[in-house]
Structure 1
Amino acid sequence: MAYPDFTLENKLSGVIAGVDEVGRGPLAGPVMSAAVVFTDRNIIIEGINDSKKLTAKNRRVLYEKITSVAKFGIGMASVEEINSYNILQATKLSMKRALMDLGLELDYVLVDGNQPPKVKWQVESVVNGDSLSISIAAASIVAKVTRDQLMQELHIQYPQYNWYKNKGYGTKEHIEAISLYGITEHHRKNFAPILKLC
C-alpha cells in the first residue's frame, strides 16, 4: 500500500497546513474539518493515511501521535449552518475555522478536493489529497476522530438512532429510526432522505 508523504510539502517553502473535512454525507451531525501543520518534517509517524482506509482503533492511535507532535486546529459548521446555507458552503466554513483555530501565520495551505475555502493564504487544491499529502491525511484523521467522538456523545442523548455506530450516516437502521421517531435538532432538514420522510 502506498502511503502519503511530504512530497507536496517539500516542493513548497515556509509553514504549510494540510486541511481535510469529514461528515459531508451524513443525515445528522455537523461537518468537521481539521488543519494540521508538521513544523518538523523529520518526525516520521508510521501508518498515517486517508482516515477512510484505517480502522477506528488505528485512527485513535494515530490521532494521539499526530496531536502530540504537530500543530492542529479544529473547525465545525453546525447543522443549523448546513440547513441555512448548503453542505458545500458549510464545509468551506468549517475548513476556514480550522485554519483560524491553528493560530499560525501560514505560507501555504493544501486542501483535499477541488472546492477550497477562500482564505488569506495561498491555497492549492489536491484531488485525493488525503492519499498524497501526509499533512492532509493527518488532518483527515484528526477531523474523523473528533467528529466520531462528538457523535458518540450525541448518541447518549438519542440512543434510538444508533449514532454511536453509524455516526449519523444514512444507514438502513438510521432511516428506519427516523421513520419511527422523527427527526431531532441534529438532523439535516435539507438533505433529500429527510425531506422525503418528513
Structure 2
Amino acid sequence: MKKSFPCYIRTAGIDEVGVGAIAGDIVSSAVILDSKFPIFGLQDSKKISLKKRLFLYEQIVKNAYSWSIGRVSCKEIDILRVSKAIELSMIRAINRLMIKPTFIFIDGVKTLNISIPNVSIIKGDNIVEEISAASIIAKVSRDNSMVILDKIFPKYGFLNHKGYCTSQHVCALKKYGFTKFHRRSYRLKLYQ
C-alpha cells in the first residue's frame, strides 16, 4: 500500500554562510523558487565560479517566487554562540519571506523548532534546488558585505578572505587589533 504525502506547493530552501569566519555576520537565505521560471545550473555556491554565481544570483532575485536574507551580527554570535546564531539567522530569513512557505528544506543536520514543517538534508545544497538557490543568495550577500568592510578597513584584506581565518587575516589582527566586526569569542583561538 502506497503512503500518501501532502503536496507542499510553497517549498523553501535555507542555507547559511559565514559560520567558520572570524569576522562578519552569519548570513542565511530562504528561497522559494517559481516552477514557471526554472533556473538552470543551480548548485552549491562554493562549487561555481564567481561569474556564474553572480549570474545565478541575478536569476534567482528576478525569478524566485520569494527570497530573503537573515543576518546575525558578530556581537550576537558572541552572546549566543554559533549554533544558536545559525538558528536565529535562519528564522530571521524565514520571517522575512514575503510569502510564507508550507515546507522547508534546510542544508545540514539541524532542523528548526518552528511551526512550519522542515527537514534537514546533509549536503542539501548539492541536492535540492531551493537550498542551492539559498546558498547562492547567502554567499553573494555576505561577500558583498565583506567587500564594503574592505573599503572601511583596507588593512585587514577582507576582499581576499571574506573574514575567514587566513594567515593574512591573523597577521592583520596581530598588527592592528580587532574591529567591532570581529567575533570576540574567537579571539583566544587565534593566538594558540
TM-score by length of 2: 0.92
Is 2:57–2:136's contact at 8 Å kept on the other side of the alignment? yes
2:35 to 35, 41, 59: 41
1:130 paired to 2:130:
no
CA-CA distance at 1:107 after TM superposition: 1.1
1:152 paired to 2:143:
no
CA-CA distance at 1:12 after TM superposition: 4.5
- State the distance in 1 between where 2:85 and 2:190 align: 23
Which range is displaced more, 44-53 or 147-156?
44-53
1:19 paired to 2:17:
no
- State the distance in 2 between where 1:179 and 1:82 align: 22
CA-CA distance at 1:197 after TM superposition: 4.8
Q: Which ranges of 4 or more aligned residues in structure 1 deviate by more than 3 Å?
A: none
Partner of 1:182: 177
CA-CA distance at 1:105 after TM superposition: 2.6
1:59 paired to 2:38:
no
Partner of 1:5: none
SS state at 1:17 partner: strand
Is 2:32–2:130's contact at 8 Å kept on the other side of the alignment? yes
- Map 1:56-135 → 2, pairs under 5 A: 56-70=50-64, 71-135=66-130
- State the distance in 2 between where 1:32 and 1:105 align: 19
Partner of 1:7: none
SS state at 1:45 partner: coil
- Structural RMSD (CA): 1.6
Q: Which amino acid aligns with 1:67?
A: V
Partner of 1:195: 188
Q: Percent identity?
A: 38
Is 2:32–2:101's contact at 8 Å kept on the other side of the alignment? no
Gaps of 5+ in 1: 1-10
Is 1:96–1:118's contact at 8 Å kept on the other side of the alignment? no
SS state at 1:93 partner: helix
SS state at 1:102 partner: coil
TM-score by length of 1: 0.90
Task: Tell me the matched-pair count.
Answer: 186
CA-CA distance at 1:42 after TM superposition: 4.1
